[in-house]
Amino acid sequence: MRTLISLSLLAISCTHVAASETKQWFNNVSYTDHEHAQNSQSLSSHYYFAPQQHSGVWDDFSYLDTDTNIALSYVDSGSDSMTGVSAEGFYGNWFGTISAPDLGELDNRAIGFGYLYNDALKVSISRHQLKYGSDETSFKAQYNHQINESDYLGFTAMTDDGFDTWGITSRYFTHLNNDTFFALDVGHSENDQHSTTSIFADYYFTRNVALGVGKTGSYESIQAKYFFNNTYYLKANYTKGYGSSDIIAASFTAQF
């Protein structure tokens, strides 16, 4: 009898620990110091209507969003500020999207719909209404190849209806051993004015410490993350571009 009771208590304890690893509400506050421009601050809150399970580290919750969610944001750039909202709602495999980056300027907004196939392929089309410039339609496709319980390889491609602006990104995430993980993000985008290629690598030494390095165009970056636990973490980033144009950013995330 004692053995059965002990096993029952252990099962309850393990269930509680596993549940505490899932999150639904993600909140972030950040500050960015631009050497030759005004500094900026931002707040964001993102809520999912279903628990999200991390991939092994506490800031990666799979490649695809497959649950209904809503996000709010506030950005203060010094000379201007704006509050935005976006939402994605699922009905079976179909989903709809809406977004307004500035609620004070609703002439800029987007609405779209899409289809999720087998929780691995996600395709959508969106119509963007712009206050300045012609309205446009965009297409987006995402694919996630789940290698095992933690490892995956994800791809995203997007373009406008005239193929004048397009981009491709990819993310590879893998569990190395024990509590060490590695993530690699690469991307390329094109528009009428220029093209940009980016690459960024993150190495998780433990579940509490990670370092990353990368480059976007001519801008080189180094990044550090410290996780207090699965709920709170800090991130700091230093970016250097042409000459002495430096950007320093710091953020704090709380997820529940």
Give 221-256 pLDDT, tens digit per residue.
Answer: 999 999 999 999 999 999 987 566 789 999 999 999
| Alpha-carbon span 206 to 145, nearest angstrom | 25
Greater confidence, 178 or 4? 178
Residue 234 to residues 54, 58, 224, 256, Cα–Cα distance (Å): 17, 11, 8, 15
In 3-state terms, what secondary structure has residue 16? helix
Indicate if the pLDDT at residue 203 is higher than 80: yes
Q: Which CATH class is domain 2-255?
A: mainly beta
How high is the pLDDT of residue 243?
Answer: 60
Could you write out the DSSP letters of every residue in 80-139?
-EEEEEEEEEEETTEEEEEEES-TT-TTSEEEEEEEEETTTEEEEEEEEE-SSS--EEEE
Arithmetic mean of pLDDT, 6-23 = 48
Look up the pTM and report it. 0.87
**pLDDT tens digit string along 87-109?**
999 999 999 999 998 888 888 89
What single letter denotes the amino acid at residue 152? Y
How far apart are alpha carbons 228 and 47 in whole angstroms?
21
**Tokens 């497959």 appear where?**
66
